[in-house]
Structure 1
Amino acid sequence: MEVEEIKLTAKDLLAPPPVMPWREFADWIRMGNSHDIVWGWIRNGYIPSHKVGKHVMVNVALFTRDLLEKEWMA
């Protein structure tokens, strides 16, 4: 999937889901063909995630909260 193909609405940006599959997350942050980079971030613990059955879900709510907290500390 090309980055230009991804169509985000205002709703997508203002109210992201609390969790999403890691590949969807990679597309959502517009990593294009660099899904392996996102997988590395997850594997190294940079992005909060949880395994549900055989699926790895990114905790978008926790990730957003952590980023906002870091913003205030800077």
Structure 2
Amino acid sequence: MNGEGINLTLKDLLTPPPVMPWREFANWIRMNNDHDIVWGWIRNGYIPSHKVGKHVMVNVALLTQHLMEKEFPG
């Protein structure tokens, strides 16, 4: 699969990494031209993240868990 210069395989979509750099995450969710919007979501706490050194990493595993809980309330 190829979307705007990003090569994704089915494995990439089914097993995302637990964390990834925020810009890479923005590209992964197809917000390539809207990095400012994704940064705003992170800054406002809508997307779980953690700073590692000078890098801001999105916690994809926690975001997935939160989204699944909203989809299937327990």
Question: Same fold by TM (over 0.5)?
Answer: yes
Q: Which runs of 4+ in 1 moved over 6 A?
A: none
CA shift digits 1:15-50 (9 cap, x unpaired): 100000000000000102100000000000000000
- 1:48 to 2:53 alignment: no
Measured on the aligned residues, the alpha-carbon RMSD in Å equals 0.9
- The TM-score, its normalising length taken from structure 1, stands at 0.91
Give the secondary structure class of the aligned counterpart of 2:4: helix
- The TM-score, its normalising length taken from structure 2, stands at 0.91
* C-alpha separation in 1, matches of 2:7 and 2:68: 24
- Count of matched residue pairs: 71
* C-alpha separation in 2, matches of 1:52 and 1:5: 27
Give the secondary structure class of the aligned counterpart of 2:33: coil
User: Where does the alignment leave 5 or more consecutive residues of structure 2 unmatched?
Assistant: none
User: Where does the alignment leave 5 or more consecutive residues of structure 1 unmatched?
Assistant: none
Partner of residue 16, structure 1 = 16
- 1:62 to 2:44 alignment: no
* C-alpha separation in 2, matches of 1:7 and 1:68: 26
